[in-house]
Structure 1
Amino acid sequence: MKQIFTLLLALCFCSFGWSQMKITGTVKDANNEVLPGANILEKGTQNGTNSDFDGKFSLTVKEGAILVISFSGFETQEIAVDGKKIFNITLKEGLQLDEVVVTGSRTPARSNTSSPLPVDIVGVKELQATGQTTFDKALQYKIPSFNTVNTPVNDATSLLDPYEIRNMGPSRTLILINGKRKNLSALLYTQTSPGRGETGADISGIPTDAIKTIQILRDGASAQYGSDAIAGVMNIILKDDYKNGSATFRSGITGEGDGEMLGVSVNNGTQIGDDKGFINYTVDFSKTALANRPGTVDAEGEFADFGGTRPGETLADIRSFLSRRPDAGNINGSPETTAAKFLVNGALDFKKESELYFNAAYVYKKVNSFANYRTPYWRDIQDYPYLANLFPGSHPSNPGGYDGYVPTFEGDLNDYNATLGFKSKLNGWNVDVSATFGGNMQTYSVNNSHNPSSIPTTATWTDANNNGVVDPGELSSQGNKYRENSPISFDPGGTSFSHIVGNIDISKVLSDHVSIAFGSEFRTENFEIIEGALASYEGNGADSFAGNRPENSGKFNRYNLGGYFDVAWDINKDFLINGTVRAENYSDFGSTFVWKASSRYKFADDKYTLRGSVSTGFRAPTLHQIYTQKTQFSFVPGSGIQRGGFVNNVSPQARLLGIPKLKAEESTNFTVGIGGKPFKNFSFTIDYYHIAVDDRIVLSTEIGRTSGGGTALDQILNANNLSDLSFFVNAIDTKTAGLDFVFSYKNWEIGPGKVGLNLSGNYTITNERDGAVKNPKIVADAGQSVVNATQEALFFTSRPRTKWILGATYDIGKFGFSLNNTYFGKTTFKQQGLDSNLRTEFTPKIVTDLGVNYNVDKNWTVSFNANNILNVLPEWSFKAENAAGQAILNDPAQVKTQSNLITFNQRYSQMTYDGYHFSQLGSMFNLSVNYRF
């Protein structure tokens, strides 16, 4: 009996020892970011699994098991199960280069150590530490290869500024939100300034407090993501924390006492059910007042442009006006902007490793800016005698006190995007299905202006004698439709863009060595040119900004379908090869096939990584570039303001001129680099890149009348009362090469605090045209070119040749200090009208920013930022190209003439009429108070 009892007891213990249980959990790093692909192994067995894209895992183990959790670049951790079923595991940082990256490959995510591609990762705290008021300006002072700046002449560009990575323009950088394509803006940049002829997404409207991290892939990625990714990809990853909410009050002012800013934002979240999901939301309201930086206008230059042609008008008259208004009444700088931003991000978990996810955003911006002031000698009452009634002034020497007027330019921007998707794991396959909707609409208003056109009103029949017959004197006109009867407020219309994108992405880790991914994307795009009200375009239209004419307006659509296949092969633990192919078909540009191959090799115990990639790219022209056609006013050096326009490539005018239809750009990218972390707190990356673009799409320079006249070009210009024409054309091949550097040292203990140092830089080795300009025959026959010296400078030298950011942080007790020095290298311009023997160079400058944080307690933090604390301003000078240019520089009178030509007689003295390399506003001071819930 005793033996039987002993046997039964042994069997019970044996059964207990071998009983199993299912456990689940999430693997994260110290920054609370999930670690996809982490290895979870039951110690002493081959039983294990990997965490999915959200860092989650499930595994059936023995009750007494010990878990071994490992991830490349992090310290391996062992945890006893001890009867627990749910685990929240945090791995400590080991010898990694940076955080986990999910951008650049469609296969499951890797740490930056394992990534074969150069990726910049910026957290929200780093963006906030810059003290900049918008997301795009914060990136300007965090990423050396990223550049953006306010354009000198605003108009529609006051709503959002052009940006670019590696000097490639906004059209060639793809913007993603949580890995899904963000819609383009409706705006096409047409001013003669950096970004001319380009369009991009409105990243300035994204609320900074909603962002978790930014991952910027500095490499061509058309094979993975499709068109628009020639220069790289910016993936904006939204906050997914429902526990740590906060409210922030912001205020600021420039050193000149203008540009006042007030803002308030709230970021918070809530849990769905019992740990079934989350919702994170952000609300952000702000208003920034006008910051005006006009120049002192030169009277002689004004007289050369506008005087001497009207009876009795003298230089003394112009000087008299400028004595009252030394800046000629001009208002330029940074416009008044009001913004409201709303964003929500969330997910809902289901059983069997499935998740419904969603995000949505809406941004409204209202901008009030101004056109150039219409001086009384420019819009003269001798030509327009009714102006004194429309714009009464207070100057006693002019009839009605007329002293000129300044038209306004007011813009309303509405931008929205939303994604709804479903992720699941089916038999080891990760499946992600989503639909994304997005749009951007910009409408404009012009006030304090007039329509100067002489258009008679429709004749009317009075039938005074009531005989039913038109007798002499009974048919009369009511007078001029505009001029003295003109309205002073106009609706010029606007533009809108929207897209719908469907994605199916499937991936699987086939083994310890091979991962694959494949998927498809369908996208439909809609672009609309919104017709203006009749008075805004009839005749010459509204003075300063004519409206969209009916024949230039309309709705336009296209769609495309693409598919990709991606495979990553870890030949061994150090050597990785990754390849992607993509086929895509556009309804208006046919089919394309692109590919990408990348690799990395780790050595010296994973302390160093060699990486490289080569890829091809494809970019179809945007709908904006295909269909936009309009007239616009611009400053022509030596001739004042002229009315020009540009025609689209599918118009009757284009056929008459022999302008070819646009075709897609094609590119080849090559990148090679090295990264390392030779010891615990120090890391570095150095990457070389080379980008070649064939048939690059550009907005041509202004093509004017021929010397002989009588050509088709002259006929179109004369028939439409235009001084010039411009149009889009596949004009040039280009090549761009450079180096990106990142050096980081953190957690350096000095006294009771810790210091962090960061040095990052971009150096452009080559950025130039490759081969001759491809001119249409009619332009070549006229002895002109669609790309002149001004265009060349805007494409290739208008952004800093080199840019470096040296930052230092020091955390001690409740205080945190940051000091950043941003070096903006030389930029070169060849402004329109400038003598060909000269060039303009903006002097290299260092902008210094100081930030101080004080943690009052666990809830309250006060932050102060002094941006450009030394009040460094852009500064330019003429440089001689040859002896003839030096002769000009030796003559002060000629120097003054040239200076007037490129600054509109000193109205834009600080930055010239074409652009500059950093903000002209000088010092800016910002204070914020943050309360954590």
Structure 2
Amino acid sequence: MKKIALLLFLLNVTFLFAQKDISGVVKDNSGSALPGVNIIEKGTNNGVSTDIDGAYKIKVKDGATLVFSYVGFSKLEKQATSTRIDVVLSEEGGQALDEIVVTGTRTAPRSNTTTALPIDVISAKDLASTGQASFDKALQYKIPSFNTVQTPVNDATSLLDPYEIRNLGPSRTLILINGKRKNMSSLLYTQTSPGRGETGADISAIPQDAIERVEILRDGASAQYGSDAIAGVMNIILKKSTNGGSATLRTGITGKGDGEMIGISINNGSTVGDKGFVNYTVDFSKVQLANRPGILSAQDESDYWGVPLATTQAFLAKKPDGGNVNGSPETAAAKFEVNGGSDLSENSKIYYNAAYVYKKVNSFANYRAPYWRTVESMPYLASLYGNGTPASYVGYVPTFIGDLNDYNATLGYKNVTNGWNTDASVTIGGNKQIYTVTNSQNRSYTDTNGNGKQDDFITEPFIYARDPKVYTGQTTFRPGGTSFNHLVGNIDISKVLTDKVSIGFGTEFRTENFEVIAGDKQSYDGMGADSFQGNDPANSGKFNRYNLGAYLDIAVDFTEDFLVNGTVRHEDYSDFGAANVWKLSSRYKFADDKFTLRGSLSTGFRAPSLHQIYTEKSQSTFSGGAIAVTGIISNVSTAARSLGVPKLTAEKSNNLTLGFGFKPTKNFNFTLDYYNIKVKDRIVLGNLVNGQAYFVNAIDSRTAGLDFVAGYRNIMLGTGKLALNLSGNYTLVNERVGSVKNPASVTALPGNQTVFNATQDALMFTSRPKFKYIFGGDYEIGKFNFSLNNTVFGPTKFKNADYSDPGLSTEFETKMVTDLGINFNATKSLSLALNVNNIFNVIPKYKITSDGSASANAIVNNPALLHAQDMNITFDGRYNTMSYDGFHFSQLGTMFNLSLNYKF
């Protein structure tokens, strides 16, 4: 703290320039106030946003120029010749090319017209128009290159769904809050789902009403921001409004009558003294279970388990859905966010933001049918889950409960002296998850009679082989959990040296701590708790590291049209070494700024996470149609060394982006960008080899594709105005490059075993949509606003491990999801919005296909053989939504959402 205080003192010992306060109101052509308009002192990072009434106040130097910008409106510059400047902004097309952004450069802010990089800007209004309940799902239906999907029956994955940009996994998109790094989650995805073997930030925890806008940089940015930015950067800008606020009551339900949601959110702000502001958001919500188990076939169950048909018929007569509870879990959440700041002097200020989120999620494992966990082999089940008689036992379904706490906070100081912009900040953040398993059992036993049977359980269940203590009838277990936190210090300095050259440089120091929290003995001893084994103390512990990074960024406007921007960065980690990366980008405008050519070439890196280095645990996985308990061994363990597993090193990338923008009129714009990303030494959670899995730099990959965005606004239709938008992402290449980098101990095994098999290859590459298009229209007339949005999800392909023939695959068809939104502004203060998402109740559909081989063709062309394969693919043929096998959007069908907003 003394060092920080000294730094702040030194930064304050500066020569002060005369400054003055400028205030005013920003409106649109109709006279309506525009909240959230960005106002920046040109050539600096000094900026504010308008409040809910369109009002603003900013302190600038004498003679300064103010730049006003807002998504969908023309940029406007005003000379600060008086203390009050009122502004009227004219509407522009779609995601306006001239929106001022702060993401993608470490020098002065630029507009989308003058930046050399592809950046999406999504306003709070855009997010709200989707009608989606969470921030990540709203982005799913606004950004074509962004994908996330709900993964049912995947244990802790139900706490936060994996997301990704450009099919590169959650670990390769860096999340920022007001330009500062947000903490990662403590959850490591270990199941067969997107992001397997990775972790990411919990963006679903961010309350939407706290967000002013989101800037998404679709380009590698490791040189500018450090690790985790191979695919791009998402910068979430929080609201700054101070006059008035709003309260929103929202409710919803699925077309099936379940998944009921209710929530309330309050956003408000005020000034603090004469020089400060604060804006805060409080959000409470509860979502009930949405269950999609399907109806089981008694004959299929009989064939699958090898039991008499009468047995399955008797069970399914009582539970036609097999007792399964899967789809969308019950979730309760409380979210708090605050954003504020205050002037210290005429050229310095402090700023801060903080957030805390609590989530509780209740989900379910697969139902243990009485012909799966049988009373004949475990007689005690009749007492544990019945009245003591065999006839009373009808199976059981373990539940999984997760308690998540996530927090982040930033305190910073800004100073402007002689045109030098200095920003010093400290950021903390953390995520902790504690798990509970109920309605379960531990199947370990001691055979004291020596007869190989579980007789001892009849009177004394749970006699542990490693502990003489007897646990009788225990059904609730505490498996432990995980925790992650970081501390980040940043110093960023920038200056516009001349009208052609600007410079930025800075440093970052970060410490990270990861903890595996041990479970109670009953949860891990022997076979552990059925469905989710606890963390053994031998595999638990606290792990940490630190790193120091520095960068230099120079931008040169050789002419008004020609820009070149270069960045270099050095990072040094305490646990695996250093990395050096660079980036070069350029932009050229011509034809009176109607055309813009842009491109970038860069190298990048991603440090292995502490989760990937130190995770060691037992887990339940599907194997050969049954659940097996397998293990993940730590990458730095003696077991890993004995298997010849090398220590993890950083992933390295080469990124190329080329694109252009076309804006022939003020109401129409179009951008097209090509990207090509090669990742070397990509870290994966390996396939099971002799019952063990581990992390290894196993593959190289290449991802290439096209992003396009088009918008046409202000189309007069009757007495209203229509706006159309079309955007899309098309994947040209997403594949492994070269052979798998198996450890020597694996290559020496018989049978061509590998740590990266066909199933993992499909999960990482072909199970992502080949393309995704979003076509929508907004029509404003009187007090009404109508929106219609169509999202086309391209085909995916998955190769399930349970197929009997390697030539078989699961292919999901191309589908279009249509969303309708109606907003009614009843009064100046009161508005009502109805959203019907997926109005045509479109559900992902798959078919089993052949690669053309004779053996695979024989199965596909034989209905009986094909049906048998369908029954054997990770339960999906029998249970509709048991796992992720390549489906690419929600399986819940139609959703109805209603919200009532009142402005104070």
Q: 1:892 to 1:912 in 2, by over 3 A?
A: farther
For 1:230 and 1:28, the matched residues in 2 are separated by 40
Shift in Å, 1:29: 7.0
Shift in Å, 1:315: 3.4
Shift in Å, 1:874: 0.5
For 2:85 and 2:613, the matched residues in 1 are separated by 55
| Match of residue 110 from structure 2 | 110
For 2:659 and 2:25, the matched residues in 1 are separated by 28
For 2:67 and 2:786, the matched residues in 1 are separated by 35
The one of 837, 847, 850 aligned to 2:820: 850
Opposite residue 424 of structure 2, the aligned amino acid is V
Question: Per-residue CA shift, 1:807-861, capped at 9, x if unaligned?
Answer: 1000000000000000000011001112211111100000000000000000000
Corresponding position: 1:338 with 2:335: no
| Match of residue 283 from structure 1 | 282
The one of 846, 859, 863 aligned to 1:892: 863
Opposite residue 312 of structure 2, the aligned amino acid is I
**Which is further off, 84-93 or 323-332?**
84-93
Opposite residue 761 of structure 1, the aligned amino acid is G
For 2:656 and 2:249, the matched residues in 1 are separated by 45
For 2:500 and 2:546, the matched residues in 1 are separated by 37
For 2:217 and 2:246, the matched residues in 1 are separated by 30
For 1:51 and 1:595, the matched residues in 2 are separated by 23
Corresponding position: 1:604 with 2:574: no
For 2:669 and 2:898, the matched residues in 1 are separated by 32
Opposite residue 831 of structure 2, the aligned amino acid is T
| Match of residue 739 from structure 1 | 706
Consecutive unaligned residues in structure 2, runs of 5 or more:
1-16, 28-33, 50-57, 449-459
The one of 829, 850, 862 aligned to 1:880: 850
**Which is further off, 371-380 or 756-765?**
371-380
Q: Is the CA contact 1:29–1:35 (under 8 Å) kept in the aligned structure 2?
A: no
Question: Per-residue CA shift, 1:713-735, capped at 9, x if unaligned?
Answer: xxxxxxxxxxx221111110000
Q: 1:542 to 1:58 in 2, by over 3 A?
A: closer
Opposite residue 378 of structure 2, the aligned amino acid is Y
Consecutive unaligned residues in structure 1, runs of 5 or more:
1-19, 40-48, 62-66, 309-313, 458-476, 705-723
Q: Is the CA contact 2:222–2:581 (under 8 Å) kept in the aligned structure 1?
A: yes
| Match of residue 451 from structure 1 | 442
Shift in Å, 1:186: 0.6
Corresponding position: 1:413 with 2:404: yes
**Which is further off, 295-304 or 684-693?**
295-304
| Match of residue 533 from structure 1 | 520
The one of 825, 830, 833 aligned to 1:860: 830
Q: Is the CA contact 1:904–1:913 (under 8 Å) kept in the aligned structure 2?
A: no
Please identify the structure whose Cα radius of gyration is greater: 1
Aligned counterparts, 1:574-589, within 5 A: 574-589=561-576
Q: Is the CA contact 1:340–1:363 (under 8 Å) kept in the aligned structure 2?
A: yes
Question: Per-residue CA shift, 1:251-291, capped at 9, x if unaligned?
Answer: 000000000000000000111112x1210000000000000
The one of 496, 515, 518 aligned to 2:502: 515
The one of 788, 792, 796 aligned to 1:823: 792
For 2:882 and 2:326, the matched residues in 1 are separated by 11
Corresponding position: 1:775 with 2:742: yes
Q: Is the CA contact 1:875–1:910 (under 8 Å) kept in the aligned structure 2?
A: no
Shift in Å, 1:33: 4.9
The one of 322, 334, 352 aligned to 1:358: 352
Opposite residue 204 of structure 1, the aligned amino acid is S
Corresponding position: 1:627 with 2:627: no
| Match of residue 895 from structure 2 | 924
Q: Is the CA contact 2:131–2:897 (under 8 Å) kept in the aligned structure 1?
A: yes
Q: Is the CA contact 2:859–2:866 (under 8 Å) kept in the aligned structure 1?
A: yes
SS in 2 for 1:635: strand
Corresponding position: 1:480 with 2:463: yes
| Match of residue 841 from structure 2 | 871
The one of 780, 787, 792 aligned to 2:756: 787
SS in 2 for 1:764: strand
For 2:286 and 2:193, the matched residues in 1 are separated by 26
For 2:83 and 2:834, the matched residues in 1 are separated by 46
Q: 1:51 to 1:910 in 2, by over 3 A?
A: closer
Opposite residue 679 of structure 1, the aligned amino acid is T
For 1:75 and 1:381, the matched residues in 2 are separated by 73
Shift in Å, 1:297: 2.9
Aligned counterparts, 1:102-181, within 5 A: 102-181=102-181
Q: Is the CA contact 1:38–1:71 (under 8 Å) kept in the aligned structure 2?
A: no
Q: Is the CA contact 1:456–1:480 (under 8 Å) kept in the aligned structure 2?
A: no
SS in 1 for 2:190: coil
Corresponding position: 1:439 with 2:430: yes
Shift in Å, 1:703: 2.0
For 2:37 and 2:507, the matched residues in 1 are separated by 26
- TM-score normalised according to structure 2 size: 0.91
Question: Per-residue CA shift, 1:293-331, capped at 9, x if unaligned?
Answer: 0133344554455445xxxxx332123212322221111
Shift in Å, 1:345: 0.4
SS in 2 for 1:778: helix
For 1:551 and 1:743, the matched residues in 2 are separated by 55
For 1:74 and 1:816, the matched residues in 2 are separated by 22
Q: Is the CA contact 1:263–1:285 (under 8 Å) kept in the aligned structure 2?
A: yes
Q: Is the CA contact 2:876–2:883 (under 8 Å) kept in the aligned structure 1?
A: no
Shift in Å, 1:907: 4.0
Q: 1:836 to 1:80 in 2, by over 3 A?
A: closer
| Match of residue 270 from structure 2 | 270
Opposite residue 849 of structure 1, the aligned amino acid is D
Q: 1:165 to 1:80 in 2, by over 3 A?
A: closer
Corresponding position: 1:644 with 2:630: yes
Aligned counterparts, 1:668-707, within 5 A: 668-704=654-690
For 2:284 and 2:866, the matched residues in 1 are separated by 47
| Match of residue 12 from structure 2 | none
For 1:616 and 1:258, the matched residues in 2 are separated by 48
| Match of residue 58 from structure 1 | 60
Q: Is the CA contact 1:767–1:796 (under 8 Å) kept in the aligned structure 2?
A: yes
For 1:499 and 1:69, the matched residues in 2 are separated by 37
The one of 335, 338, 349 aligned to 2:343: 349
| Match of residue 902 from structure 1 | 873
For 2:233 and 2:26, the matched residues in 1 are separated by 24
Corresponding position: 1:655 with 2:641: yes
Question: Per-residue CA shift, 1:196-218, capped at 9, x if unaligned?
Answer: 11100000000000000000000
- TM-score normalised according to structure 1 size: 0.88
Q: Is the CA contact 1:694–1:732 (under 8 Å) kept in the aligned structure 2?
A: yes
Question: Per-residue CA shift, 1:49-106, capped at 9, x if unaligned?
Answer: 8673448563446xxxxx976789957666794xx44546566567961411100100
| Match of residue 327 from structure 1 | 321
For 1:50 and 1:382, the matched residues in 2 are separated by 76
Alignment RMSD: 2.3
| Match of residue 25 from structure 1 | 22
Shift in Å, 1:349: 1.3
Q: Is the CA contact 2:253–2:260 (under 8 Å) kept in the aligned structure 1?
A: yes
Opposite residue 556 of structure 1, the aligned amino acid is F
Question: Per-residue CA shift, 1:483-503, capped at 9, x if unaligned?
Answer: 972411110000000000000
SS in 2 for 1:284: strand
| Match of residue 7 from structure 2 | none
SS in 2 for 1:609: strand
Q: Is the CA contact 1:637–1:902 (under 8 Å) kept in the aligned structure 2?
A: no
SS in 2 for 1:485: coil
Opposite residue 297 of structure 1, the aligned amino acid is L
For 2:23 and 2:552, the matched residues in 1 are separated by 29
Q: Is the CA contact 1:70–1:76 (under 8 Å) kept in the aligned structure 2?
A: yes
Q: 1:891 to 1:243 in 2, by over 3 A?
A: same
Shift in Å, 1:777: 1.6
Q: Is the CA contact 1:27–1:51 (under 8 Å) kept in the aligned structure 2?
A: no
